[in-house]
């Protein structure tokens, strides 16, 4: 199985096509539509017995031109901002306001209560905690500011929210990602700055000279669009009614190429089917590769998949997702009962020779989480090395060239091995 994937695997070539011929593919965009067609073709080429689409309504957010500049004393600076996903724009107006920097929820609360955020552009300069070995722990902390920061500062009358990008890389690329509004508060623009821009702005604010910013953004939310999950399966030979799902999400943010997030998870899931076919292995249980739509700004695809599974009274034995990048795998997260964890951990020694040793974390994946909510399905999550993920995540850095072929393939191998073991032995 390792030899097949490392020597004959097609996931890297598939990823090249997805990244270079389709490109980034935000839900509702023409590229997302093209990606659906690509997915159907790739699953058929992998040898799936059946390939079908699941229709799903998705949010349709579009990014327009954006500009941000500020004067500090006599000097003028131009930033390279990037609107957060789902953000409203400035309605054709230019916002002109002073900037207040904060770095924690407490600080927002304190300054807000004193009226100091009113009519200001609030700059949330919360730093990524480099101390965690698993960078997802630091991400969780920062992502809260990204998702809910605009709500919180809008509560105190802020005109816009600027966010230090949730990123480990000190460069000029801003990182986008989902944000949310509270319908009872003003929907102010929410915009990410690269670490370089954030540091520049912070330095200039420290000078305590008059600082005035101009901000204009044309992003907006359109009515929901129709899109699809793409599903391909190999029917089980002994217990076809028992379904194993392996997946990634097909949509991506509208910058870069969505290579690690989550082209990797898609092509790895397709590789699972391809490997069974290429090796002429007939799984005992049914294995489905699912390319979920809209993980990034709504998770509508994941919801739909679980909803249909429930409606159709399907029996889902387990589901596994790869949505943490196409890096060298180190483990498999387990979100299931303790008894089920014990069963899976018995296979640990089979994975160790491939560098996959960590079966301790409670991790599944966003798209498959709805299967657990609806049907208590046991979940597995691929755990790649996390050091580089937030260098590229949701930014122009997330391109095909940032993916290493062998690392991607070892992730696919880990998923295939887990699917094989589950299809042979159940759970």
User: Among all residues, which ones are annotated catalytic?
Assistant: 295
Report the distance separating Cα 324 and Cα 364, nearest Å: 11
Site string for its own copies, 146-185 (x = CB under 8 A): ----------------------x-----------------
| The pairing of beta strand 379-384 with beta strand 285-292 | unpaired
Nearest CA among 253, 240, 285, 292 for reference residue 269: 292
When binding is defined by CB under 8 A, the residue of 62, 235, 387, 426 that contacts its own copies is: 387
When binding is defined by CB under 8 A, the residue of 99, 150, 410, 418 that contacts its own copies is: 410
Q: How far is CA 266 from CA 53, 152, 246, 318, 322, in A?
A: 15, 35, 9, 18, 8
Shortest spacing between CB 174 and its own copies, in angstroms = 19
* Residue 260 contacts its own copies per CB under 8 A: no
> Which residue is associated with the tokens 């018995």?
346
CA dihedral 339, 344, 347, 353 (to 10 degrees): -130
Asked if 347 and 421 count as a contact pair (C-beta separation under 8 A), the reply is: yes
Shortest spacing between CB 403 and its own copies, in angstroms = 11
When binding is defined by CB under 8 A, the residue of 57, 185, 405, 421 that contacts its own copies is: 405
Report the distance separating Cα 399 and Cα 382, nearest Å: 20
When binding is defined by CB under 8 A, the residue of 126, 388, 393, 394 that contacts its own copies is: 388
Shortest spacing between CB 62 and its own copies, in angstroms = 33
What tokens were used for 216?
């204009």
CA dihedral 196, 108, 151, 205 (to 10 degrees): -30
Report the chain's terminal Cα–Cα distance, integer Å.
Answer: 21
The secondary element (H helix, E strand) that includes residue 340 is helix 338-345
Biggest distance spanned by C-alpha atoms of the chain: 76
Closest CB to its own copies among 49 and 172? Answer: 172
Report how many residues bind its own copies under the rule CB under 8 A: 24
Shortest spacing between CB 357 and its own copies, in angstroms = 5
When binding is defined by CB under 8 A, the residue of 17, 404, 421, 426 that contacts its own copies is: 404
Shortest spacing between CB 404 and its own copies, in angstroms = 5
When binding is defined by CB under 8 A, the residue of 3, 75, 241, 424 that contacts its own copies is: 3
Closest CB to its own copies among 1 and 308? Answer: 1
Closest CB to its own copies among 307 and 405? Answer: 405
- Contact positions with its own copies (CB under 8 A) in 330-359: 330, 353-355, 357
Asked if 413 and 2 count as a contact pair (C-beta separation under 8 A), the reply is: yes
- Contact positions with its own copies (CB under 8 A) in 128-147: 130-131, 133, 135
Report the distance separating Cα 409 and Cα 353, nearest Å: 15
* Residue 293 contacts its own copies per CB under 8 A: no
Report the distance separating Cα 308 and Cα 235, nearest Å: 18
* Residue 423 contacts its own copies per CB under 8 A: no
Q: List contacts with its own copies (CB under 8 A).
A: 2-3, 6-7, 130-131, 133, 135, 168, 328, 330, 353-355, 357, 385, 387-388, 391, 404-407, 410
């Amino acid at each position: 199985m390792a030899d097949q994937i490392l020597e004959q695997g097609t996931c890297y070539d598939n990823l090249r096509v997805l990244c270079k011929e389709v490109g980034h593919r935000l839900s509702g965009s023409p590229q997302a539509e093209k990606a659906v067609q690509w997915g159907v073709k790739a699953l058929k080429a992998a040898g799936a017995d059946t390939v079908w689409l699941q229709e799903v309504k998705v949010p349709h957010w579009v990014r327009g031109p954006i500009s941000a500049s500020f004067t500090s004393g006599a000097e003028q600076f131009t930033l390279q901002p990037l609107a957060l996903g789902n953000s409203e724009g400035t309605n054709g107006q230019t916002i002109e306001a002073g900037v207040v920097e904060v770095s924690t929820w407490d600080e927002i609360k304190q300054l807000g209560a004193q009226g100091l955020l009113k009519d200001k552009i609030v700059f949330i300069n919360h730093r990524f905690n480099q101390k965690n070995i698993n960078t997802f722990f630091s991400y969780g902390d920062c992502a809260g500011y990204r998702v809910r920061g605009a709500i919180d500062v809008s509560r105190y009358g802020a005109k816009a929210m600027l966010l230090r990008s949730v990123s480990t890389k000190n460069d000029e690329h801003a990182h986008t990602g989902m944000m949310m509004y509270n319908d009872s508060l003003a929907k102010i623009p929410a915009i990410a700055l690269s670490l370089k821009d954030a540091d520049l702005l912070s330095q200039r604010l420290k000078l305590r000279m008059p600082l005035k910013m101009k901000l204009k953004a044309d992003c907006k939310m359109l009515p929901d669009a129709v899109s699809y999950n793409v599903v391909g399966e190999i029917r089980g030979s002994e217990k076809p009614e028992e379904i194993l799902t392996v997946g990634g999400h097909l949509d991506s943010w509208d910058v870069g190429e969505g290579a690690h997030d989550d082209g990797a998870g898609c092509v790895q899931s397709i590789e699972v089917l391809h490997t069974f076919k290429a090796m002429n292995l007939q799984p005992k249980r049914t294995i489905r590769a699912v390319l979920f739509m809209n993980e990034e700004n709504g998770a509508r695809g994941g919801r739909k998949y679980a909803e249909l599974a429930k409606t159709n009274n399907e029996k889902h034995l387990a589901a596994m997702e790869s949505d943490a990048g196409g890096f060298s795998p180190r483990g498999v997260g387990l979100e299931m009962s303790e008894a089920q964890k014990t069963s899976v951990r018995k296979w640990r020694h089979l994975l160790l020779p491939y560098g996959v040793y960590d079966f301790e974390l409670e991790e599944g994946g966003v798209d498959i989480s709805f299967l657990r909510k609806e049907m208590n399905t046991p979940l597995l999550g691929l755990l790649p090395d996390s050091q580089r993920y937030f260098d590229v995540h949701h930014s122009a850095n997330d391109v095909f060239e940032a993916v290493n072929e062998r690392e991607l393939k070892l992730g696919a191998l880990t998923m295939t091995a887990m699917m094989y073991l589950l299809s042979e032995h159940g759970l």
